[in-house]
Chain A
Amino acid sequence: LALYFHSGEREEKCIIEDVPSDTLVIGNYKVQRWDMHRQEFLESAPGLGMFVTVTTPDAEVLLSKLYGPQGTFSFTSYLSGEHAICLQSNSTRFVAFAGSKLRIHLDIRVGEHFLDESIVKAKDKVNDVKIKLEHLIEQIHHISREQNYGREREEKFRKTSEETNSNILWWAVVQTLILISIGIWQIKSLRDFFISKKLV
């Protein structure tokens, strides 16, 4: 848990994960609070928790739970797309203090395999290779799902480009028609007007 960033006490920080469907996403976090008196981040802050909210690409809430100062959360996506993982602390006390901040350590693993723990369980040679093979198979499945998702996205991209193309064409035709018909109307209207005014 090495990468960390700072956040305000009540600020919500969101991470976007663009994942294919049926993908397991696991997140590990640890949060520390800034202590005004000691001018450093406390190792553990009792009572401090984090609301973890995960939303699907359709803005539906997939996971919404309160965890402690340190925790692991996971979810499996059933839709492909951009999921938002949002972290917000449940702190209510120090809102009035300026300069109070949180240090959030975060580690997110997508479609990941537990290489380290598997090796712990390996006791003999055959098992070792077997576990590695399973890990490789899982990796291949993940790649295959990502490629499928890639195909869906490319289709969407192509639709958008074709829509732009037809938009341009259609509006150009409409504008030309408007131009011609307005031009004709203008001339006719002015001619009738001048005839009626006995100027022509």
Chain B
Amino acid sequence: MPLRGCPAAGSLLVLLLAACATRAAEITFELPDNAKQCFYEEIAQGTKCTLEFQVITGGHYDVDCRLEDPDGTVLYKEMKKQYDSFTFTASRNGTYKFCFSNEFSTFTHKTVYFDFQVGEDPPLFPSENRVTALTQMESACVSIHEALKSVIDYQTHFRLREAQGRSRAEDLNTRVAYWSIGEAIILLVVSIGQVFLLKSFFSDKRTTATRVGS
């Protein structure tokens, strides 16, 4: 017990350092048509990073994505992708840039979600200054924490897929409604118009005994 006094400060420092190296940013934003949106992040060398994105609503549910390192070398470039996940290790220090582009679309704007994870998560119980191994309680906490993190991750994926499915279903519903109304109107107009047109052929005084029908 008395040994916990000093290590607390040490583990605080370690945790702060670890916290600096670990970040996760997930953002959902709207990308207007013909627009491009870029995001930048400073990454230290050797950090393992993951970029994951998904298009939630809009048009054909696709977007162009491009990831560049500080030198401008393109690490990842895909056109018209609906969903993808890309992991890479930073080869040098600097500002990495990734862009989403909707420039190929003329009038649909898209909602894009991305999740950019830098570094691994810090351990729940920092082990650098410990004298004893983790107690049972602490190991239980650690495993519950890991399980919950993956539950939250799956939940997010599920939510995004559901939002996308729902968006498609609502599109379908609107299209079916409008198209059906349109078709009914066209049907009425054309059939009534046909009869009056035919009648108008026989209204002239020029022809008298033209045989009708086949």
Which chain A residues have a beta carbon within 8 Å of chain B's beta carbons? 2-6, 13-18, 106-108, 116, 119-120, 122-125, 128-129, 132-133, 135-136, 139-140, 142-143, 146-147, 150, 153-154, 156-157, 160-161, 163-164, 167-168, 171-172, 174-175, 178-179, 182-183, 185-186, 189-190, 193-194, 197, 199-200
Asked if A116 and B15 sit within 8 Å, CB to CB, the answer is yes
> Known contacts A2-B23, A16-B30, A161-B169; is A124 also within 8 Å of B1 by CB?
yes
- Which of chain A's residues has its CB closest to B207's CB? A199
- Is B74 an interface residue, CB under 8 A from the partner? no
Besides the known contacts A136-B148, A157-B169, A200-B212, 15 further A-B residue pairs in the complex with CB atoms under 8 A apart? A2-B25, A2-B42, A3-B23, A5-B39, A108-B27, A120-B12, A123-B5, A136-B145, A139-B152, A150-B162, A154-B162, A164-B172, A178-B187, A179-B187, A199-B210
> Known contacts A2-B118, A146-B155, A147-B155; is A16 also within 8 Å of B192 by CB?
no
Asked if B25 and A107 sit within 8 Å, CB to CB, the answer is yes
- Which of chain B's residues has its CB closest to A154's CB? B162
- Which of chain A's residues has its CB closest to B12's CB? A120
Give how many B residues have a beta carbon under 8 Å from the other chain's beta carbons. 66
- Is B19 an interface residue, CB under 8 A from the partner? yes
> Known contacts A116-B19, A163-B173, A200-B212; is A193 also within 8 Å of B191 by CB?
no
A178 to B186 alpha-carbon distance, docked (Å): 11
> Known contacts A18-B28, A108-B27; is A119 also within 8 Å of B12 by CB?
yes
Which chain B residues have a beta carbon within 8 Å of chain A's beta carbons? 1, 4-5, 8, 11-12, 15-16, 19, 23, 25-30, 37-42, 111, 116, 118, 124-125, 135, 137-138, 141, 144-145, 148, 151-152, 155, 158-159, 162-163, 165-166, 169-170, 172-173, 176-177, 180-181, 183-184, 187-188, 191-192, 194-195, 198-199, 202, 209-212
A189 to B191 alpha-carbon distance, docked (Å): 12
A139 to B116 alpha-carbon distance, docked (Å): 21
A124 to B5 alpha-carbon distance, docked (Å): 8
Candidates B41, B181, B199; contact of A193 at CB < 8 Å: B199
> Known contacts A120-B12, A182-B192; is A18 also within 8 Å of B183 by CB?
no
Q: Which residues on the A side are within 8 Å of B116 (C-beta)? A: 3
Asked if B180 and A116 sit within 8 Å, CB to CB, the answer is no
> Known contacts A14-B29, A164-B169, A167-B177; is A3 also within 8 Å of B187 by CB?
no
Q: Which residues on the B side are within 8 Å of A5 (C-beta)? A: 37-40
Candidates A120, A186, A197; contact of B202 at CB < 8 Å: A197
Q: Which residues on the B side are within 8 Å of A185 (C-beta)? A: 191, 195
